[in-house]
Structure 1
Amino acid sequence: MSQSTLDQLLGAVAGADQVLILPHNDPDPDAIASAFGLKKLLNQRTTLPVEIAYQGIIGRAENKALVRYLGRPLRPLTKATLQRAACIALVDTQPGTGNNPLPTDVTPHIVIDHHVWRDETAAAAFYDVRPDFGSTSTIVAEYLQTAGVVPDRMLATALFYGIKTDTMGLVRGATPADVDAFHTLQALTDLNALDEIQRAQVPASYFKGLVTAFQSARIRGPLLTSYLGPMSYPDQAAEIADTLLRLQGTTWVICAGYYEDELVISVRSRARSGGAGQLVRAIVGELGMAGGHGTMAAGHIPLNGADPAALAEELERRALDLLKLDAKVPESPLI
């Protein structure tokens, strides 16, 4: 990365009196680490107060453990915080995606992301969107390196874990840049803390969710679908989809459940061509917002009084059609 690119990033906040960093809703390790890293960069290179806030729930045990380890650097977003924010940075998300709290009539100053380009992003004073990268943490690590900011043990651990989780240990969508950042950060990582984060204890609801997922799982050829019903936290569908994808012979997993008034759908793919992001966008269509990468994607649909189970069935029918799987072929239960 060039010094001029770093200067453009810093120039985007020149004149501001504070910066609000917003990761995507229900932030995962990559979003948490990216926000934490950008805050560190701005703290080192400017005198601006910087705050990280998020919307949604940090539900997975590992994500909670990461936030605790970092000293809880981000807090739930309030309406007052958002209204008074004159300078906003989006990380691991973009305007118009529907997975962040940015109002549609507000233009962010900074956007740093590795998801598919959104045209709304072009209005930002500074943007760096690299869909070919495996994680946003890698992008932020490059800015720190260019700025001469050596990550301390805590930040290095967060960025390393962000890359590790989003690329599944460099085997999913990793670029040479991801590999370089991964190995550079690994040497600085607190391995004991990382072990505690990765092996964080889970509540009983986690196992109850697994039981529901296994009992409802149905197999039709290369596709496995599962409906969880009510979920304890929004990203429970993604957590269980990752587990179900390990089933021998499975190429596609579609896992759905609802949290409060929203249906959440998680798609995972082992297909060589990927296509998870394209599939979930086609499945969700006009019903809500969706996006993702080749092997992992998600969608969110407001229920507005609709029956979540019936809606999940409709999404499954759409998936069967898009994957060209015969709906008349009998399903077989997982267990």
Structure 2
Amino acid sequence: MSEAQFKQLQEVVADADKVLILPHNDPDPDAVASAMALSHLLTKTLELETEIAYQGIIGRAENKALISYLDEPLQPLTAVDLASFPAVAIVDTQPGSGNNAIPLEAMVAIVIDHHPWREATATAKFADVRTEVGATSTILTEYLQAAGLEPDQQLATALFYGIKTDTIGLSRGAGPADAAAYVYLQPKVDNDALIEIERAQVPIDYFKSFDMTLRAAQLYDHLVVSYLGPMAYPDLTAEMADVLLRLEGCEWVICLGVYQDNLILAIRTRSPEGGAGRLAQAMVDRQGTAGGHGIMAGGQIPLRSRDPKRLTSRLIQEALRHLNIPVETRAKRLV
């Protein structure tokens, strides 16, 4: 981050007495850590009051453990008076992406993200969108360094874990900036806490979902698809997709499930060419919202009384065409 960028960031909120920081819906570790880092930056450099709020559910056991370790830094958006904030910042997401609580027409002061650029982001007063980095936590780590602020152990652990999860330990979609931030943060990490977060205990329903995912999984050449049905929390599709991607010979995984009258989909790939975000866009098209980047993506489609299984079938046909797998390919059961 250049000195000019840092100065510009400060200028867009200099007249505000407090700032609301929003990560994407159902925030993951990268989004949580990025929000915390921006809050720390604005508080220490401009003495601004900040609040971090989120929409959705934090359902994954590891994410719950991280939030607990960080002393519950986020609050539900329903508990916040939006009108009382003269400035809003969003991290790990952008206006118009469909995965945040910001209306498309709303004015946003700050956007910091690593996903592909959205046209609506141009309306923000300050936008730093870098698709060449693997995690928004990397960008915020650079901000702290530029401001001369050393993260404490909690924040360093969160940022490190955000980079680690989004880049799979620097193995996917990571660039030089991610590696530099990773190395900078590693000595500051609370390793005991990190182990507890990564090995967080899961409820019995997790194993029921795992069983259902395996039983429903179908193989189309190098693609694995699983329809989970109704889900207790929306990021279960992503959690199960991460598991299925470990299958030997698998290059692509698509998991789908229903949450609150929406069909949720998660995509993962091992393909060196990436393209998960493009696949998500192709599948969802104008039916809902989708986004992501090279190795992971997601989306959701409002059901509006439609049969989720029939919609899933149509989406899978689109995925087969996009991945150049013959649509007549007969699916094989995984188990």
Counterpart of 1:131 in 2: which secondary structure? coil
Aligned-partner Cα distance in 1 for 2:161–2:277:
23
In the alignment, residue 35 of structure 1 is paired with which amino acid? A
Q: Tell me which moved more, 98-107 or 23-32.
A: 98-107
Matching residue of 1:33: 33
Matching residue of 1:285: 285
Deviations 1:217-236 (A, max 9, x none): 00011111000001111000
Identity %: 55
Aligned-partner Cα distance in 2 for 1:22–1:144:
19
Is this contact kept in 1: 2:53–2:80, CA < 8 A? Answer: no
Matching residue of 1:175: 175
Aligned-partner Cα distance in 2 for 1:120–1:328:
39
1:100 aligns with 2:114: no
Residue 80 of structure 1: CA displacement?
5.2
Matching residue of 1:204: 204
User: Aligned-pair RMSD on alpha carbons?
Assistant: 1.0
Structure 2: where are the runs of 5+ without partners? Answer: none
Counterpart of 1:291 in 2: which secondary structure? strand
Residue 103 of structure 1: CA displacement?
1.6
Aligned-partner Cα distance in 2 for 1:47–1:169:
34
Matching residue of 2:194: 194
Matching residue of 1:299: 299
1:43 aligns with 2:43: yes
Matching residue of 2:5: 5
In the alignment, residue 91 of structure 1 is paired with which amino acid? V
Deviations 1:183-219 (A, max 9, x none): 1100000000101110100011111111111001000
Structure 1 length-normalised TM? 0.98
Structure 1: where are the runs of 5+ without partners? Answer: none
Matching residue of 2:24: 24
- Greater than 4 Å deviation, 4+ residue runs: none
Structure 2 length-normalised TM? 0.98
In the alignment, residue 66 of structure 1 is paired with which amino acid? L
In the alignment, residue 216 of structure 1 is paired with which amino acid? A
| Cα 1:17/1:214, change in 2 over 3 Å | same
Count of equivalent residues: 335
1:227 aligns with 2:227: yes
Matching residue of 1:269: 269
Deviations 1:131-161 (A, max 9, x none): 1100000000000001000000000000000
Residue 300 of structure 1: CA displacement?
0.8
Residue 286 of structure 1: CA displacement?
1.1
Counterpart of 1:94 in 2: which secondary structure? coil
Q: Tell me which moved more, 148-157 or 9-18.
A: 9-18
Deviations 1:22-55 (A, max 9, x none): 0000000000000000001111011221000000
Counterpart of 1:65 in 2: which secondary structure? helix
1:58 aligns with 2:58: yes
Residue 313 of structure 1: CA displacement?
1.1
